[in-house]
Structure 1
Amino acid sequence: MAFGFCAAAAVFAGMGVGSLFDGAVVPGHAAPDARLLPLAPTDTTRLVPGSALQSIVVAPEQAARLLGADFGWSRSITAPGADSKTTAKECLLADPVGLRGVYGQDWTAFRKTTVQSAEDDDSAQLVLAVGVYPSEAKAHGLFSSLVSALGDCDGKSATETTAQGADLVLSFEVGPSGADSAQWRSRQESPRERSCSYDARVRRNVLFEVMACVAGSEGKSAKDVADALEETLPS
């Protein structure tokens, strides 16, 4: 957690065939059949290569400054995690970030990094998940699915069971989403009070999420960290 088709073009020339224009017959050529024109090649110059993943990162020290927190432990994994266990299926993809249900398995590179106060202390926690895909269409399609799911989660409360077996009572609030970004929040009511902010974005063929959590009801926004992460994308 340390974070084309070429279709052969054929244009048929009119042989003794005229074109109608202003009521007059004008000798010329028949219009090309659009179905036979060459297709525009896929623009691969915009794609972020999977090898760039190692540079798409926010250093723990920078993240700590942005969130005003102390981070002393980190861990990274290179595949999305199992979907959450929650009593509200509408919120299956809302918490945590970096889930298999969001990122699927068609990515070319993936990393999820978690930094927190200590291995056994997640009162202050930051999670960054980044997936690089073979096409922009794939990344944008997954993002659209995430946004759709989040809309059903707004205002819901749920009990979520963590990988460690702990039950957390969470309530969710989903903000307005754009064509390429989404933000939402959760508040943990039990067994302790903790608030989390989430920011998901899709840029070209890269889908990424940031989750920032702190103790108490006044959470820190994940936006600044997401902005910093976006700035590391190759131009």
Structure 2
Amino acid sequence: MTTKQFQSQRTCAAGPLVAIGGDKGGVGKSFQARVLAWQLHSRGIPLALCDGDERNAHLERHYSSQLNTVRFDARSEAGWTSMFNHLDNVPADHAVVVDLPAGAGCMLHQEAARLIANEDLGMPTIHVWVATPGEDSVRLFRDLMAIAPASRTAFVTNKHIDESLGRFDIWMNSRTRAEFVAEGGLEVALPKLPERPHDMIANQRLPFPSERPANWLRGDWFTFLSFKAAVEREQASLIRLIQEMC
């Protein structure tokens, strides 16, 4: 395919690039990426996955058997070049979920011009920010707002960290939140997956199941279905935004 043909294909019909970050380690970025891949795939949305954490690639570990998945180094310019180059091989109607590692926020700023150029080829960017309860997360998110339109950005509060979300009062009372919501930003929660089904999925390196696995007891399956219902309820606005752009 020539560059001209590729540009024409992308401009006619393109899914979004969904960049999942948060800068802090251990806040649930990869879990959110897996949840999003599961939700979109279960709705029949064509997907490609890019795992930016070369050392601990959760998307590749859990979804490479189901979906087109590549790894790249999101902490380097060369890694981002390889990711952008890979988009030439992704069908134009696919959404692309990109899982970013801790500390990749500075690279998002450095790659802002190329993300805009990618949008010029017909692939808009949706930013998903998985937050911690502290002040640093709010400050770093404010930095992201300089390059990410609020109407295409989701702020995620992880209920695994605090199921009541009471510890997120710094965010709830911040000027940053008020401005973000006023500009059309999305707030979603990431429900907590109880320990037993979480560990069974992790130990077997499974994607999230669409049917009850043969070795799951009934109670564990019911627990998982409750988690699934909570995800669909809590993240409906984000799923809807991505669907509208596919």
Give TM-score, length-normalised by structure 1. 0.27
Give TM-score, length-normalised by structure 2. 0.26
* Greater per-residue helix proportion: 2
Which protein has greater RCO, CA pairs closer than 8 Å, 6+ apart? 2
Larger Rg over CA atoms: 1
